[in-house]
Chains A and B, each alone.
Chain A
Amino acid sequence: MATARSEHAFVDKFPDEAGVIKATFLVAFVALGIGAFFGLIQALHRTNVVRVIDSADYYTMLTGHGVLLAIVFTIFFLCGVFHWATARSLDRPAESKLFSWAWVGLMLTGTILATVAILGGLVPSLGMSADVLFTFYAPLQAHPIFYIGLAMFIVGTWLAGADWFLSYRAWRKDNADERIPLQAFMVLTTMIMWYISTLGVAVSVVFFLIPWSLGLIESVNPLLTRTLFWYFGHPIVYFWLMPAYLMWYTVLPKLAGGRLFSDPLARVVFVLFLLLSTPVGIHHQYLDPGIAEGFKFIAMTNTMFLLLPSLLTAFTVVASVEHGARQRGGEGYLRWLGALPWRDPAFTGMALAGAMFAAGGFSGMINAGMNINYLIHNTLWVPGHFHLTVGTAVALTMMAGSYWLVPQVTGTKLYSRPIGLLQVIMWFVGMVFMSNAMHRAGLAGIPRRTAEPQYQNFEFLTPIGSIFELRVQIALGGTLLFLSVVLFLFNILLTSLGEESERPVDAYLPEPLSGPEGSPRILDNLAMWTGIAALLVVLAYTLPLAGIIQNGGGLFGGGLPVPATVSAGLDFVLMTVTSAFNTLLGVVA
């Protein structure tokens, strides 16, 4: 059976890589299940429908929800996708199996440490907590093992990237004049962006947050850690999105029955994301004092440039899907939509995710505008936005893509396409309810990041409908989303436990309509794009960071960067000298 299958199945061609991918997917899906459960508890608690936890524990749940879904689920899954895409497109296994498992192990260890620190918040007797939310900057402080776990996780992703670059280097030796295969190009440009952007959070965690949480330094400069966080905190959005884009560009057209419209356009889009996604993080800090308005304005204009690659993507992917529909007999201006393979949960899920991403893009433009941002900044609008982007465009694409990818790495057929279809539809409907209500609640001024959104002697007003309706929508949406995750995990579990199949899935990806030969070779010059991306970061961040350090009390906030232990010693010496001096004065007098 395996011999008959080996022409088609990834698992037979690259068994070691399939093992690594299965492990990353397993961790991702466990994190998805736990994170979704925390999300359900929060949705019911905040809307006052069912309260099973103390409000103080809400923040533990919120941190767990954010970290497990936005960091662990997404990044473990994307590591699996990138490992698959690199081996598949370069048509070669990783250079070292041991090295691949090393980064999986490091990321997993980091995840366990961070999760233990977060869950420790539910057991007060442990004296350990990390209720710092997904945005883990000062002044909120977590237990040191939370930061140490995150640092290990980030280093693990760096090693994963190194794994794929080593594969590329080996491929390049054998294919000196070839264009980089499209999927490998997407992986490499995304990882360059990740290396550049994670430098900020690495500096923040290693030099400030870990020493601060260990008590080695007394204080940190909160604005500096916030800025370093957002230096990474916006590009991570594109780190989530790029694997979704990879699947929209290279898998979705095939599922639609066609071919990618333009390979060169896809390369341009990924290069643009590499260049533009990092120098924009200050747009998360429009309301932060201590950063000059001019720098915020520059961040805003840079952010607006990011619309270009997203709009190019919308055009290319829709054109590719339309081409697929017409290959299947679709006709007319819009009737071709009916010819698409809506029975296939992988296609339907990705298509619905793309449709919702358009809505998320529009609310993102609102967030990016300095003046409008002031209205919605600390309201429920913002979670509404990122539940459309990372919560749907990314998460739904990953779940839908799993229906096509998991059979390739397990060698088994998808357990149930109807359950898969119901699951992706349920996610779409649940997210419509939840994100719509969150956006509306944000416009009414309801705050985010709080277990108790109500104020005494104050009533939130909506222009249409009531606050009660919005609460019901959020609770209903959250419940549907959780049930959708349960269906997904059930389907994937039974898929992986199923019997091996001769042809688990049609894994062939057709060539694009317009191939790489139509794009300028300079697009493949990764060193040059890295240099330009780094230069843009230097231009965007040097002056703001200098200002923050100069005006915010130095690197460590409280003045001179003196470690706490040294400071205590100095205090002792000073007190002793003062005391001796006073005694001497007394004797003299």
Chain B
Amino acid sequence: MKLTKARALVLIAFSVPIAIELRTVAGFFNVELPLIAVAVIEFLFLALLFVLYGLYGEGSNAAA
């Protein structure tokens, strides 16, 4: 399955509430996650998505 721009955008959109609530979920396990950690995790997710788009995106030859 190709990672289209539209699918990538929707994935980014859904990553926002997950990132925002990450600290709450971590709090359930008594883990105090600082805001900067959440920002880094979100940044890493976006970087991964960018790489995947390069590999499996609309312009690539690879097909999942």
Contact = CB atoms under 8 A, between A and B. Distances in A.
A436 interface: yes
Contacts of B7: 338, 342
B37 interface: no
Interface stretch (A81-89, A255-263, A422-430, A556-564): A422-430
Interface in A309-344: 335, 338-339, 342-343
A428 B13 contact: yes
Contacts of A428: 13
A437 B52 CA distance: 31
Nearest to A343: B6
A348 B27 contact: no
Interface string B12-39: 1100110011011001000000010000
A432 B1 contact: no
A465 B7 CA distance: 31
A352 interface: yes
Nearest to A341: B6
Contacts of A433: 16, 20
B13 A352 contact: yes
Nearest to B21: A436
B13 A429 contact: yes
A464 B24 contact: yes
A425 B20 contact: no
Contacts of B40: none
Contacts of B9: 342, 421-422, 425
A432 B16 contact: yes
Contacts of B27: 463-464
Interface in A447-488: 463-465, 469, 473
A436 B17 contact: yes
A469 B13 contact: no
A438 B17 CA distance: 14
Determine chain B's interface SS by DSSP, over half rule.
helix
Interface in A408-427: 418, 421-422, 425
B53 to A, nearest CB: 14
A469 B5 CA distance: 30
Interface residues on B, range: 10 to 19
Given A343-B4, A464-B23, A469-B35, A425 B10 contact: yes
Interface residues on A, range: 20 to 34
Nearest to B15: A429
Contacts of A465: 23, 35
Given A428-B13, A429-B13, A469-B35, A342 B20 contact: no
Nearest to B32: A464
A433 B27 CA distance: 19
Contacts of A421: 6, 9
Nearest to A463: B27
A338 B9 CA distance: 13
Contacts of A348: 6, 10
Contacts of B5: 343, 418
A339 B2 CA distance: 10
Interface string B43-56: 00000000000000
Given A433-B20, A464-B24, A464-B27, A342 B4 contact: yes
Contacts of A338: 1, 7
Contacts of A463: 27
Nearest to B1: A338
B13 A436 contact: no
A464 B10 CA distance: 27
Contacts of B12: 425
Given A425-B13, A464-B27, A469-B35, A432 B20 contact: yes
6 tightest Cβ-Cβ pairs between the two chains A and B: A342-B6, A343-B6, A432-B17, A425-B13, A428-B13, A464-B23
Given A428-B13, A429-B13, A436-B20, 8 more contacts: A335-B1, A342-B9, A421-B6, A422-B9, A432-B13, A464-B23, A469-B35, A473-B20
8 contacts: A338-B7, A342-B7, A421-B6, A425-B10, A433-B20, A436-B20, A464-B24, A473-B20
